[in-house]
């Protein structure tokens, strides 16, 4: 397994899925525990915040000190096309609004989950009200 050189990881935030995380970390990501190990390894190579999206298993995040697993939201998924894009956009918005990394991860996980409930990409992007309603329901 080829590992991406560390000089390419000099970013503030990185958010790969399981397959991408394997290339970044050199580790197999086949469970939450493996993802925690991989996200810490990726985070130790440069990014200030590292996340690995795990689809139906949620997301793991590492802020340089602490790692956390955010479980998935229960939704009726029909199409995962836009989930990663919705997650990344919501995470950026949450950080820009000064949410903590943990809060931003939950906010992004809710947005990503909601994006799977509709077909397509653009039509699947959730509104802020929908994201906040899902968060309140948890």
CATH number at residue 1: 3.40.1620
Look at residue 103 in the predicted model and tell me its pLDDT.
98
Using CA atoms, how far residue 11 sits from 50, 111, 130, in Å, is: 10, 23, 30
Look at residue 56 in the predicted model and tell me its pLDDT.
92
Number of domains, the chain: 2
Q: Is 54 found in the same domain as 7?
A: yes
Q: Is 135 found in the same domain as 102?
A: yes
CA dist., res. 94 & res. 60, Å (int)? 16
**Which strand (E) or helix (H) includes residue 89?**
helix 83-96
Q: Which of 12, 16, 36, 32 is nearest to 24 (CA)?
A: 16
Q: Is 127 found in the same domain as 62?
A: no
Look at residue 138 in the predicted model and tell me its pLDDT.
72
Q: Is 19 found in the same domain as 44?
A: yes
Residues in the chain: 138
Q: Is 58 found in the same domain as 20?
A: yes
Look at residue 6 in the predicted model and tell me its pLDDT.
75
Q: Is 77 found in the same domain as 66?
A: no
Look at residue 128 in the predicted model and tell me its pLDDT.
97
Q: Which domain holds residue 125?
A: 73-138
Active site residue 7: no
Q: What letter does residue 81 receive in the DSSP assignment?
A: T
Q: Is 65 found in the same domain as 4?
A: yes
- Per-block average pLDDT, block size 10, for the chain (138 residues)? 76 95 94 97 94 96 97 96 96 98 98 97 96 93
Is-contact 37 31, C-beta < 8 A?
no
Catalytic-labelled residue, pool 30, 63, 76, 85: 85
Domain end, chosen from 41, 71, 101, is at 71
CA dist., res. 87 & res. 95, Å (int)? 12
Look at residue 82 in the predicted model and tell me its pLDDT.
95
Look at residue 41 in the predicted model and tell me its pLDDT.
94
Q: Is 89 found in the same domain as 66?
A: no
Q: Is 61 found in the same domain as 10?
A: yes
């Amino acid at each position: 397994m080829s590992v991406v050189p560390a000089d390419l990881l000099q970013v503030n935030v990185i958010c790969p899925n399981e397959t991408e995380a394997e290339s970044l970390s050199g580790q197999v990501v086949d469970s939450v525990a493996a993802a925690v190990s991989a996200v810490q390894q990726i985070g130790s190579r440069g990014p200030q915040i590292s996340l690995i999206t795990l689809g139906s298993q949620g997301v793991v995040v590492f802020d340089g000190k602490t790692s956390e697993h955010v479980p998935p939201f229960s939704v009726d998924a029909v199409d995962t096309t836009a989930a990663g894009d919705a997650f990344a956009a919501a995470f950026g918005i949450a950080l820009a609004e000064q949410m903590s990394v943990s809060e931003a991860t939950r906010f992004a996980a809710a947005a990503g989950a909601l994006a799977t409930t509709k077909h397509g990409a653009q039509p699947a992007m959730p509104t802020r009200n929908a994201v906040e309603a899902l968060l309140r329901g948890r």
